[in-house]
């Protein structure tokens, strides 16, 4: 009975910590959003350049996507929590064979939506980067054919529709949005700059700087865009090659992370008397199991950090 009350108390404490940390995270995000524009203005002012414009607040604001941010729907939030809770509950049963401790461990699933958001943001950025590489090749070809920058962007939107049949593709939506802004009288460099800010991708931001510099100071736009597209394309190709090489090691790492759970389950089923001391409360057995879980979590985190290679 005392164990149940202790477990409930710890569960309440974890819930309070989660709510407190979530509230702090929201307040921090609000403060960062409020101060980001001021920081950019100060940085650009020090360099003698104009600050990046904020996102459009007019008729096109509803069509703009901020790729550095993602809001989970209720279904996505609930799915992430339940999926991770089921896994943690299974881990608790395997390592402790105690339903109360397993339920207590499953409460950590409340932190799962944060990691899911990061994962979805990273996937969306990677997808946009690959699509942007194809757009650069088409843009370079259109400019080499003698078309103006504005007409080249219109041509790229048509080429992308042939390459990606789904009109909801990120890069198609962004180029069509840029073209509509240009038709509405907005300078193309400002429209591209707005896309670069929202993308939160370094390559697209560098491309925006190139476009703005060429339009403002003049220069061989065709040659500059060609070289820029070649450099960015080579960088993305290197990233893809690294991803292919690391994919096999990533699979091996996942197998090694799952293997201890399979071994402990097999030993618990085949030799329950041999494993019994590890499941006795109170005792050193649960402490050893907790230490083992900590080592497994650290090894998983370390393997992910090693395979997260940036170019």
Can you give the pTM of this predicted structure? Answer: 0.72
Residue 12 has pLDDT above 60, yes or no: no
Please count the CA atoms within 13 angstroms of the CA of 17 that sit on its side-chain side: 10
Tens digits of per-residue pLDDT, 25-38?
Answer: 555 544 444 444 44
Q: What is the pLDDT of residue 16?
A: 52
Q: Is the pLDDT of residue 74 over 80?
A: yes
Do the beta carbons of residue 196 and residue 175 sit within 8 Å? no
* pLDDT, averaged across the chain: 78
DSSP code at position 261: H
The residue that leads in pLDDT, 43 or 112, is: 112
Q: Is residue 166 predicted with pLDDT exceeding 60?
A: yes
If we measure between CA atoms, which residue out of 252, 245, 246 comes closest to residue 300? 252
Residue with tokens 């194809």: 134
Q: Are 113 and 80 in contact (CB under 8 A)?
A: yes
pLDDT tens for each residue of 278-306: 888 777 888 888 888 888 888 888 888 88
* Cis-peptide, bond into residue 144, ω within 30° of zero: no
Whether the predicted pLDDT of 221 surpasses 60: yes
Q: What crossing angle do the helices spanning 112-144 and 202-217 adopt, rounded to 10°?
A: 40
Give yes or no for residue 23 having a pLDDT over 80: no
The length of the chain, given as a count of residues: 311
Q: Residue 303, class by beta-carbon neighbours within 10 Å (0-12 exposed, 13-18 middle, 19+ buried)?
A: middle
Averaged over 134-156, what is the pLDDT? 86
Q: Looking at residues 45-74, what average pLDDT do you find?
A: 65
Lowest mean pLDDT among 42-56, 134-148, 217-231, 250-264: 42-56
- pLDDT tens figures, 85-118: 998 888 888 888 888 888 888 888 888 899 899 9
pLDDT on residue 175: 92
Between the alpha carbon of residue 95 and those of residues 84, 102, 179, 201, 278, the distances in Å are 16, 9, 58, 42, 8
């Amino acid at each position: 009975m005392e164990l149940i009350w202790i477990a409930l108390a710890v569960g309440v404490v974890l819930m309070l910590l989660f709510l407190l940390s979530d509230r702090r995270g929201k307040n921090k995000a609000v403060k960062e959003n409020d101060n980001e524009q001021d920081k950019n203005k100060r940085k650009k002012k020090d360099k003698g350049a104009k600050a990046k414009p904020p996102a459009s607040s007019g008729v096109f604001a509803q069509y703009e996507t901020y790729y550095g941010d993602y809001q989970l729907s209720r279904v996505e939030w609930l799915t992430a929590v339940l999926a991770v809770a089921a896994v943690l509950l299974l881990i608790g049963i395997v390592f402790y064979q105690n339903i109360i401790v397993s339920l207590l461990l499953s409460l950590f699933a409340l932190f799962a939506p944060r990691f899911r958001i990061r994962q979805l943001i990273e996937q969306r950025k990677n997808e946009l980067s690959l699509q942007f590489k194809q757009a650069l090749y088409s843009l370079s070809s259109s400019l080499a054919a003698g078309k103006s920058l504005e007409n080249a962007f219109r041509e790229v939107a048509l080429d992308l529709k042939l390459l990606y049949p789904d009109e909801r593709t990120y890069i198609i939506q962004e180029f069509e949005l840029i073209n509509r802004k240009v038709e509405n009288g907005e300078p193309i460099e400002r429209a591209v700059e707005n896309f670069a800010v929202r993308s939160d991708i370094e390559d697209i931001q560098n491309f925006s700087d190139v476009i703005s510099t060429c339009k403002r100071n003049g220069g061989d736009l065709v040659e500059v865009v060609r070289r820029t597209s070649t450099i960015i394309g080579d960088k993305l190709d290197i990233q893809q090659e690294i991803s292919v090489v690391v994919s096999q090691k990533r699979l091996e790492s996942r197998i090694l992370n799952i293997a201890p759970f399979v071994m402990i389950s097999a030993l618990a089923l085949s030799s329950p008397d041999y494993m019994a001391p590890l499941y006795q409360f109170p005792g050193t057995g649960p402490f050893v199991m907790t230490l083992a879980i900590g080592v497994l979590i650290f090894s998983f985190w370390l393997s992910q950090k090693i395979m997260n290679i940036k170019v």
